[in-house]
Amino acid sequence: MSLSKPWNHFGPHHPFPEKQTFAGLYRDAPSSLVSSRGLSLPSAFAPDSSVNMNALSPDEMERFQKLSNEFEPDVQGPLVSTKQSSHSIALDYANADPTLSTKTNALAVTHPMSRIMKGDGNCGWRAVAFGYFETLFALRDPLRLQRELARIKSLNSLLDQVGQQEHLYEIFVDATEDIFSQASAAIQNGVQDETFLVDAFNEEYSSSAVITHFRLMTSAWMKLNPHRYQAFLSLPLDQYCATQVETVRTEIDEVGLQALVDGVIEGAGFGVEILYLDRSEGDAVTPHQLSPNRPSGATIRLLYRPGHYDLLYRAEPSVNMAPVVNYQYAMTSNCSPWDQGALSFDVNSHLMSIPNLMADPSFAMAPPMSPMPSVSPSPASSFRVSPPQDLYQSPMQTHAPVPSIPVSSPSSMVSAPPPPMTSLPTRSSDGPQIRLNPLVMKPNLSHSLPVTTPFKK
């Protein structure tokens, strides 16, 4: 991705701080420097101090500048911290500017976890390098890990093209390969956390070697693609790489960070996003995507505070899984199976599925009844089923007469009274029965099929 326009590449506002003013550098000057002038540290920097720093000679001012540039504060803490809640960042700005306080509170919601980098001048390089290996390990793909190792090793050709000596950079490449080996072994052993990676980056030699390797790859990429970065530099590109990229303990700036993404991270398919914590308008941090194309894989997210980088972890979207409700009612699982082979007739599934088609087989031998008998109300059983002659006499006998069933003449059918209720066959007391229609059964079948529990009412 070329840096065609600064505002288009780095965002609508310049997120990085301007050069520190000369007076501001005195805040980090050692006390011995001030005491040589016969001044105490509080009196020298008190707002109402009567000392005029502009009265110093040019040689003294140059000496102050040199000592300030060489001063390294004693920063405490690990090089890479474990994951922690982003509420700690919000607490750091609780009493700060209201805009920063509001943004850090919102940041703790959208990115609840963070990882703090030690502010020793390498925090930006370290954050990207650690995020690269952490993202690669989180994918748990051994084949992709091997492809990435081969790709990183292939970038040695860039170092050779710009004149780097192999015997000088190979120790840094070996340190990077060792991180790959540890990640591969962790995946094969089923390790789920990245403790081994945190320990490796907290070891001074290993961490510095990996960061130096990433610096050299970035510098070589910029030297081979000067047309993409020279327009955004105030000094020649070779000089910029020598003083700002290859030199240790020099913090990464916007141009170097973009070159690191273009030359090293982009090939892995990972994205890099910066969230700027500044006083710009809005209630949330300002995000900016450094990747030229929206990545298909994971994204490394950096939190930028003036002069410092940390890692952020976005909240994973939660999936609302509604409970599965079983709407089955009155189902039983202990029903005895229907042994169809025990029946002495061929069961026709289409006929047996017709409602009210089943009747007591004993009615087949009963005297014929009138088509519409008049039966007076009586306390009959609720399971009484009308005889099949009453329901299907005319249509069934017209198309498919059964020889075994006697058919009476119309005169006899009209004059024959219905059988008394006492002449009906006795039913068993063990519940309702399914009675087979004589049209779908053989004459020698004299038993009914029991009704299982789900069909009882």
- What is the domain-level CATH number for residue 293? 1.20.1300.20
For residue 118, pLDDT over 60 is answered with yes
Residue 285, pLDDT > 90, answer yes
Residues forming a β-bridge with 276? 286, 304
Residue 184, pLDDT above cutoff 50: yes
Question: At a CB cut-off of 8 Å and minimum separation 6, what does 212 contact?
Answer: 172, 248
pLDDT, one tens digit per residue, over 86-114 is: 999 999 999 888 999 999 999 999 999 99
Domain shared by 147 and 182, yes or no: yes
The mean pLDDT value for 441-450 works out to: 53
Q: Is residue 12 part of a domain?
A: no
- Measured between alpha carbons, how far is 108 from 87 in angstroms, rounded to an integer? 5
Is residue 25, in this structure, part of any structural domain at all?
yes
- What pLDDT does 16 receive? 39
Please report how the helices 195-202 and 123-138 are oriented relative to each other, as an axis angle in degrees rounded to 10: 160
Under a CB-based contact definition with an 8 Å cutoff, are residues 438 and 368 in contact? no
Q: Where does residue 282 rank: exposed (0-12), middle (13-18), buried (19+ CB within 10 A)?
A: exposed
pLDDT of residue 412: 46
Average pLDDT for residues 166-178, to the nearest whole number?
A: 96
Q: Which of 56-70, 189-203, 395-409 has the lowest mean pLDDT?
A: 395-409
pTM: 0.58
Average pLDDT, the chain: 73
| Backbone φ, ψ for residue 337 (5° rounding) | -65, 150
Please check whether residues 230 and 272 belong to one and the same domain: yes
Q: What pLDDT is recorded for position 29?
A: 37
Query: Quick one: 58 and 92 in the same domain?
Result: no
Q: Count of domains in the chain? A: 3
Closest CA to 401 of 365, 437, 439: 439
Residue 287 in any domain: the answer is yes
For residue 457, tell me if it sits in a domain. no
Q: Is residue 192 part of a domain?
A: yes
Is the domain of 183 the same as that of 302?
yes
| pLDDT number for residue 411 | 47
Write out pLDDT tens, residues 206-255. Answer: 999 999 999 999 999 999 999 999 999 999 999 999 999 999 989 999 99
Q: Residue 441 — very low, low, confident or very high, per pLDDT cuts 50/70/90?
A: low
> How many separate helices (H) and strands (E) can be counted in the chain?
18, 8
Judge whether 187 lies within some domain. Answer: yes
Query: 60 and 85 share a domain?
Result: no
Amino acid at 424: L
Indicate the residue among 6, 34, 65 that finishes a domain.
Answer: 65
Residues 57 and 86 in one domain: no
Domain ends where: 39, 65, 91? 65
Q: Is residue 138 part of a domain?
A: yes
Quick one: 158 and 36 in the same domain? no
**Boundaries of domain holding 55:** 21-65
pLDDT, mean of residues 416-422: 55
- Sorting pLDDT into bands at 50, 70 and 90, what band is 426? low
Q: Would you state the pLDDT for residue 10?
A: 38
Q: Which tokens is 43 given?
A: 């009196």
CB count, 10 Å around CB of 331? 9
- Same domain? 49 vs 87: no
Predicted local confidence at residue 322, as pLDDT? 55
Residues 237 and 211 in one domain: yes
C-alpha span between 38 and 402 (Å, rounded): 132
pLDDT tens figures, 286-320: 999 998 776 666 899 999 998 899 999 998 766 55
Output the pLDDT for position 319: 55
User: Do 105 and 197 have their domain in common?
Assistant: yes
Same domain, 138 and 180: yes
In a domain, 391, yes or no: no
One domain, residues 146 and 220? yes
